[in-house]
Amino acid sequence: MHSDRASLGLRIAAAAGLLFMHLPILLIFVYAFTTEDKSYQWPPPGLTLEWFAVTWNRPDVWEALSLSLRVAAISTAIALVLGTLCAAAVAHTRFFGREVISLLVILPIALPGIITGISLRSAFNLADIPFSFWTILLGHATFCVVVVYNNAVARFRRMSGSLIEASMDLGANAFQTFRHVILPNIATALLAGGMLAFALSFDEVIVTTFTAGQQQTLPIWMLEELVRPRQRPVTNVVAMVVVLVTFLPILGAFYLTRGTDTVAGQGK
């Protein structure tokens, strides 16, 4: 018997699965409003907005947030430039070792973050590079480049090569061709890749642990707070912010890349 509706058992199982994934996130939100600040007590003895004010006035939160935003923004910018260039080279030219380069670019995201972290840390040590904002940035850029590259290379492959020739044929130099033909055709892919890269960087813990000096990015700061309880709900307030900051770009990227499956330049 076939029916358009799934069986009751299947629907319950699906609902249970979704609840299992999302209920804990909801709990985080609830604890941001609790009046009790030593241990996570259920149910919360009372509800208050006090922790939002406390969080607002904590300089360490602002420092961590600011560092995370700067790292995410700059590593995304680096990734957009390098990822796009690399994708353009791999998708539209043939050269010796092209497949190898393609694989090597993707490797950092396939490797466990801990490997990337350890190897970067020992490399920085060997080269006598002090751990700083810039070492965090480099660590994040390794995987941000991959995300942008993956999005861009897929779009480049769907773009007909004769579009670029047509542009040059019509009098556009390399810069004009990039500005008026290539960029409009890969823009949504770059936006999606950039947002994903930003979100990945923003909540990255493992690589950051190995490449940071005294600085604390937001996720690292949260880990520290959990170990050393002091005004615990502040962590929950920050967690809410993190969820929103990472969720919104990913949602945006999803909507932007939807419905762009038509092949660019296949005008027959």
**C-alpha distances out from residue 192 to 139, 148, 175, 264, Å:** 21, 8, 23, 17
> How far is residue 135's CA from residue 141's CA, in Å, rounded to a whole number?
10
Which residue, 11 or 180, has its beta carbon nearer to other proteins?
180
Site membership for other proteins, residue 75 (CB under 8 A): no
Which residue, 241 or 264, has its beta carbon nearer to other proteins?
264
Site membership for other proteins, residue 267 (CB under 8 A): yes
According to DSSP, the residues that pair with 47 across neighbouring strands are: 34
Q: How far is the CB of 181 from other proteins (least distance, A)?
A: 6
Q: Are 108 and 116 in contact (CB under 8 A)?
A: yes
Q: How far is the CB of 186 from other proteins (least distance, A)?
A: 10
Amino acid at 145: V
Q: Are 124 and 135 in contact (CB under 8 A)?
A: yes
Sign of CA dihedral 130, 132, 136, 138: negative
Q: How far is the CB of 166 from other proteins (least distance, A)?
A: 4
Q: Report the site for other proteins in 20-49 (rule: CB under 8 A).
A: none
Backbone phi and psi for residue 33, each to the nearest 5 degrees, phi listed first: -110, 5
Q: Are 140 and 72 in contact (CB under 8 A)?
A: yes
Q: Report the site for other proteins in 166-225 (rule: CB under 8 A).
A: 166-173, 176, 180-181, 184-185
Q: Report the site for other proteins in 144-163 (rule: CB under 8 A).
A: 160, 162-163
Q: How far is the CB of 63 from other proteins (least distance, A)?
A: 43
Q: How far is the CB of 71 from other proteins (least distance, A)?
A: 33
Where does this chain bind other proteins (CB under 8 A)?
A: 160, 162-163, 165-173, 176, 180-181, 184-185, 262, 264-268
